[in-house]
Structure 1
Amino acid sequence: MLDARRITDKCTSPEKYDKPINAWYELALHDENEEIQHHAADSLFGFYLRKKNYTKAEKYLDYFSEHDPMKSYYQGRLLQEQGKIKEAYEKYENVIFSGFSTLNFVLSTMAGMALRENDIGYARFLLGKVQAVAHILEIGKYNGIRQCLILYVQGKM
């Protein structure tokens, strides 16, 4: 709450609170609760990014898992702030593709469940969503119909 007030300029001389608040975040980085560590690293990353201290900001990305799409997003923000626009776009595109892959996997799994329940209409509906997302993101027709083809070959559609 103190940090939010500092960030939104709701207090006078917010910079005088930088040291104590960041010290508390540094303490929180060593908490046994991973969620607390994550929030502390997130806050410290944002603080140093706003201050344009990119080396320090990058240090806090080490607290994010390589499998966390937010790490790639934050890396993109860091690259963007540093004027490395092409590299930033690549990071952002990786986040989008990762999101599509997750959506594709989950919707296809649900479509498979619907087929096992003989609910062909719902399976088609779900696979239509995969196709729509692939179309919107311009990921390619194959990515949109891949699961349909697999199910068709298996005789399930």
Structure 2
Amino acid sequence: MMLGKVIRKYRKERNFTQEEMAERLGVTASAVNKWEREVTCPDIALLAPIARLLKISTDTLLSYRENLTPKEIKELMEKTQKMLKETSYGEAFGWAKKQMEQYPNCEDLVLNMAACFEAYAITHEVPEAEKREREICALYQRLLESSEESVRMRAASGLVGYYRRKGEYEEAETYLQYFSIQNPERKRMQAQIYGETGRIKEAYKAYEELLFADYQRMSAILHGMYQLARKENDRERAGRLAEKQGELARCFEMGEFYEVVPQLDFAVLEQNRELALDTMKKVLDSVAGIGGFRQAWLYEHMTFQEMQPELLGNMKKQLLQSFDDEEIYGFLKEEPRWQALCGKQAENCGTSGKAEEK
């Protein structure tokens, strides 16, 4: 098969138009058309870039390689930043564009180049600024087609930021669709847009929802680390992690119940009678305010489902019943305070351990 037919075959398989292929190689669409019609041949220097773009893995004679290594990308980025300091923006961008044309399928290179020149253009006066902005946006747009979710999201984030800076908020919002609903970055960027367009309550609500979700996530992480420390019998680490859980609840205005309850398991682990009894009392006393975060100023724009009094009553009964479990709390059985708590259980549950023995 002639070279022109090979180019045409694989270009169509990659779903490129002649114009798209030309743009990525830095040539004209007319040149690509002539190659495919066998009127002319590509310059020898373009053979490797063409192979990379079309992903022709059989082209071993040209030492086909689709991507650069992380080290090679780092070296290219360091040279780019050096050129931005020592030469003009246009010269540096032209050089960078040639590197991207040499490796048109190296998405990490394109992404890093786009971010680098975008950051420079934000903080410096750049000649032909609008033209350069369009070129950077074109790079991000191209990366939206990536098969890698992380690449698509970084490109979309760049475009959201670009259109926010231009005040084109509706356009900025269209790129949020590249983030899943569950991705907190989507909500954070939406909150920024709300704030910049005068939708202050919506912005606060979105930020507060992020804070509340982050507390739950970080609390679960600390609890998981605490369980690991317990498993390894690392008491010192376990104690510090239990304290951190309480500090986290305090920082996020979750209420006293969430501040003190992590200490209870650690007190049992340590068989620390004073700490256990003090914490048990604090836990019981704070049950009524377990939903205190609903009134916290930090979440005043959020709407929470009201907690039913019956639910709080049942929760307190369950806690009292658990405190009467001698397998866990038996080391407290000689303590009058523990016996008093068990007495409260009898009042709340209508039965006691002694009644059951009779």
Match for 1:63 among 178, 186, 191?
Answer: 178
Of 108, 132, 146, which aligns to 1:17?
132
Spell out the pairing of 1:24-103 with structure 2 (5 A cutoff).
Answer: 24-103=139-218
Amino acid at match of 1:123: A
The residue aligned with 2:235 is 120
Q: CA deviation at 1:92?
A: 1.0
Q: How many angstroms apart in 2 are the aligned matches of 1:89 and 1:136?
A: 18
Q: State the alpha-carbon separation in 1 of the partners of residues 179 and 259 from structure 2.
A: 31
Q: CA deviation at 1:4?
A: 1.8
Structure 1 residue 150, shift from structure 2 partner? 6.4
What stretches of structure 1 of length at least 5 have no aligned partner? none
Q: Report the more deviating stretch, 92-101 or 53-62.
A: 92-101
* 1: CA distance, partners of 2:180 / 2:257: 30
Larger Rg: 2
The question of whether the paired residues in 1 share the 8 Å contact of 2:215 and 2:248 is answered with yes
* Alignment counterpart, residue 5 of structure 1, candidates 108, 116, 120: 120
CA distance, structure 2, for counterparts of residue 148 and residue 155 of structure 1:
15
Which deviations, in whole Å up to 9, do the C-alpha atoms of 1:133-155 show, x marking residues without a partner? 11122121223334445675593
Query: Which residue does 1:130 correspond to in 2?
Result: 245
- Closer, same or farther: CA 115–50 of 1 in aligned 2, 3 Å: same
* Alpha-carbon spacing, 1:150–1:87, altered in 2? closer, same or farther (3 Å): farther
Q: Give the number of the structure with larger relative contact order, counting CA–CA contacts within 8 Å between residues 6 or more apart.
A: 1
Deviations 1:107-146 (A, max 9, x none): 1111112222333332221011011111122121223334
The amino acid of 1:25's aligned partner reads Y
Distance 2:196 2:258 in 1: 33
Q: Note the C-alpha offset of 1:18.
A: 2.2
Alpha-carbon distance between aligned partners in 2 of 1:155 and 1:57, rounded to the nearest angstrom: 56
Flag the 1:155–1:123 CA change in 2: closer, same or farther, 3 A. Answer: farther
In structure 2, runs of 5+ residues without a counterpart are 1-115, 269-321, 330-358
Q: 112-121 or 128-137, which moves further after superposition?
A: 112-121
Give the TM-score, by structure 1 length. Answer: 0.88
Match of 1:145 in 2: 260
Q: For the aligned residues, what is the CA RMSD?
A: 2.1
1:139/1:106 CA distance change after superposition, 3 Å: same
Q: Secondary structure at the match of 1:118?
A: coil
Distance in 2 between the 1:147 and 1:64 partners? 34
Q: Given residue 250 of structure 2, which amino acid in structure 1 is its aligned partner?
A: H
- Larger mean CA deviation between 7-16 and 140-149 belongs to 140-149
Query: 83-92 or 63-72: which moved more?
Result: 63-72
Match of 1:109 in 2: 224
Q: What letter corresponds to residue 74 of structure 1 in structure 2?
A: M
Measure the CA separation in 2 of the matches of 1:120 and 1:108: 14
Q: What is the rounded CA distance, in whole Å, between the counterparts of 2:209 and 2:172 in structure 1?
A: 21
Which piece of structure 1 moves more, 116-125 or 43-52? Answer: 116-125
User: Mean alpha-carbon deviation: is it higher for 94-103 or for 35-44?
Assistant: 94-103
1: CA distance, partners of 2:258 / 2:202 = 25
Tell me how far apart the structure 2 counterparts of residues 145 and 105 of structure 1 sit (CA, whole Å): 16
Deviating more after overlay: 13-22 vs 52-61: 13-22
CA distance in 2, matches of 1:72, 1:149: 35
Q: 2:328 corresponds to which letter in structure 1?
A: G
